[in-house]
Amino acid sequence: MSTETAPATTESVETEHDHHPPHLQHHFVSSEQQFDSAKLGMWLFLITEILLFSALFVAYAVYRNWNPMAFAEASSTLDWVLGSVNTIVLLTSSLTVALSIHFIQKNDKQKTVISLLSTLVLAGGFLVIKYFEYMAKFEHGIYPGEAFAPTGSGYEYLAAIPYVPQFFSIYFVMTGIHGVHVVIGMGLIGWMAWRAHRGDFSDEWYTPVELTGLYWHIVDIIWIFLFPLLYLV
Amino acid sequence: MAHATDDHAAHGHHIIPIPTLLKVFGALVALTAITVGLSAFDFGMFEIPVALGLASAKATLVVMIFMALKYDNPVNMLTFSVGVLFVAVFLIFTLLDTAFRGDMDNVDRLTIEERERLNEQLQESDVDAEDLQVAPSDMQ
């Protein structure tokens, strides 16, 4: 987009600015309006994400309320140390993504890229820990749904308790969908790091970084609720 | 690092200072430690409210500071609040049903029609002395 393509509808803008900024699409009055619209759209999307997970939280609440002992028993087989470490990993990644926005607002390209790449590494670390947790469960026949067939000491007795399989189904579906969101987030953050490195963003325009950050924080918030409900109580 | 553009950086968007971000991160880690620490104790029926309260405090910190809702256009706060409100409606109204099934005398697992049909059948059936006899095994 070049400056001379500014359509007639942006006349009012042209009185404020001498030129049409390259990032500003012609159907917006100003960069500020464009930024606010994008952000509102993102918040609406995040609400649909929250509602998606809330359905799973309701399923958890109903089954837990009906079978508190089975849930306590099944939950005690999850490794709370790994769960805690993963919580800290995700919280740190939220900090680094918040820092990346701080740095792009100050036009510090290099630190923005470093923050985004740190976030990417932390997200990868989260998935690696999750992988080991899943493998430890699969080894003992702890699968979601009908495949549930616990074997080995420390797990065999679960077969006799009704509604333990439901706990693990809910556990795998909740952490699984959360994990898919982490993978998508890694893709977005990697893309943002590459674009920031390429010099696409500045303090004048960094909307994609801002929106990716919002998405990543929601992924963190979902985990903030998943962790105590699945691992601790 | 000094920036010549600091004055008008990000064009009026609020830039959250790094010390604030670090303080929030510290608080989040501390609240996580408290959550894990408290899980060693048994609070009985308060276990879930305590865990959810701590998680909500953490989520509030993330939403307000990291997601900058505190400094943001109020319409985003409105959008988020309405979303949270509907999550609460979803959860509470579902539990009002499922958590109290069978707790009260006038609630049973049969539908009203099934219960009426059963009552009709009982009224039609002949009850004689034989049916009213109590066997010793009934008393245990």
Q: Are residues B20 and B66 in the same domain?
A: yes
Q: Are residues B92 and B106 in the same domain?
A: yes
Q: Are residues B51 and B30 in the same domain?
A: yes
> Does the distance separating the beta carbons of B32 and A87 come in below 8 Å?
yes
Q: Are residues B64 and B79 in the same domain?
A: no
Distances (CA, A) of A106 to A31, A109, A110, A115: 17, 9, 11, 13
Residue B85 lies in a domain: yes
- A vs B, Cβ pairs < 8 A, gives 143
> Which residues in chain A have Cβ-Cβ distances shorter than 8 Å to B91?
54, 57-58, 61
The answer to whether the CB of A32 falls within 8 A of the CB of A15 is no
The answer to whether the CB of A211 falls within 8 A of the CB of A39 is yes
Candidates A50, A203, A224; nearest CB to B55:
A224
| Chain B residue whose CA is closest to A226 | B55
Residue B133 lies in a domain: no
Rounded to the nearest 5 percent, the helix, strand and coil shares of chain A are: 80, 0, 20
For chain A, the domains span 39-232
Q: Which CATH number fits domain A39-232: 3.40.50.150, 3.40.50.1240, 1.20.120.80, 3.10.20.30?
A: 1.20.120.80
> Does the distance separating the beta carbons of B75 and A98 come in below 8 Å?
no
Look at A60-69, A162-171, A176-185, B97-106 and tell me which has the smallest mean pLDDT.
B97-106
Higher pLDDT, A24 or A47: A47
How many domains does chain B contain in total? 2
pLDDT at residue number A64:
93
Residue B130 lies in a domain: no
Q: Which of A78, A58, A66, A93 is nearest to A172 (CA)?
A: A78
Q: Are residues B22 and B68 in the same domain?
A: yes
Residue B1 lies in a domain: no
pLDDT in tens, B9-26: 445 688 999 999 999 999
Residue B61 lies in a domain: yes
Its ipTM equals: 0.86
> Which residues in chain B have Cβ-Cβ distances shorter than 8 Å to A65?
95, 98-99
Range of B57's domain?
14-72
Residue B135 lies in a domain: no
